Amino acid sequence: MLIKQVCIPKKDLTTVNENCTLEDALKILEDSGYRCVPILDEGDKIFRGNIYKMHIYRHKSEGGDMSLPVTHLLKNATKFINIDASFFKIFFTIKELPYIAVLDNNQQFYGILTHSKLLNILAQSWNVNEGRYVLTVASTGNRGDLASISKIISKHTSITSCITLDVGQDEFIRRMLFTLPVDTTEETLETVIQHLEKKNFGVIEVEDLQKERSNN
Predicted confidence (pLDDT) per residue in 123-171, tens digit: 666 666 678 899 999 888 788 999 999 999 999 999 988 888 765 555 5
Q: Give 46-99 pLDDT, tens digit per residue.
A: 999 999 999 999 999 999 999 999 999 999 999 999 998 887 788 788 888 899
Residue 21, pLDDT score: 97
6 confidence band (pLDDT: 50, 70, 90): confident
Give per-residue burial for 22-57: e unless 16+ CB within 10 Å, then b: bebbbebbeeeebebbbbbeeeeeebbbbbbbebbe
Q: What is the mean pLDDT of the chain?
A: 89
Q: Give 124's strand partners.
A: none
Which domains, from first to last, does the chain contain? 3-121 (3.10.580.10), 127-215 (3.30.70.260)
DSSP state string for 27-94? HHHHHHT-SEEEEE-TTS-SEEEEEEHHHHHHHHHTT--TTSBGGGG-B-TT-EEETT--HHHHHHHH
Whole-number Å distance between alpha carbons of 113 and 39: 15
Instruction: Output the pTM of the full model.
Output: 0.67
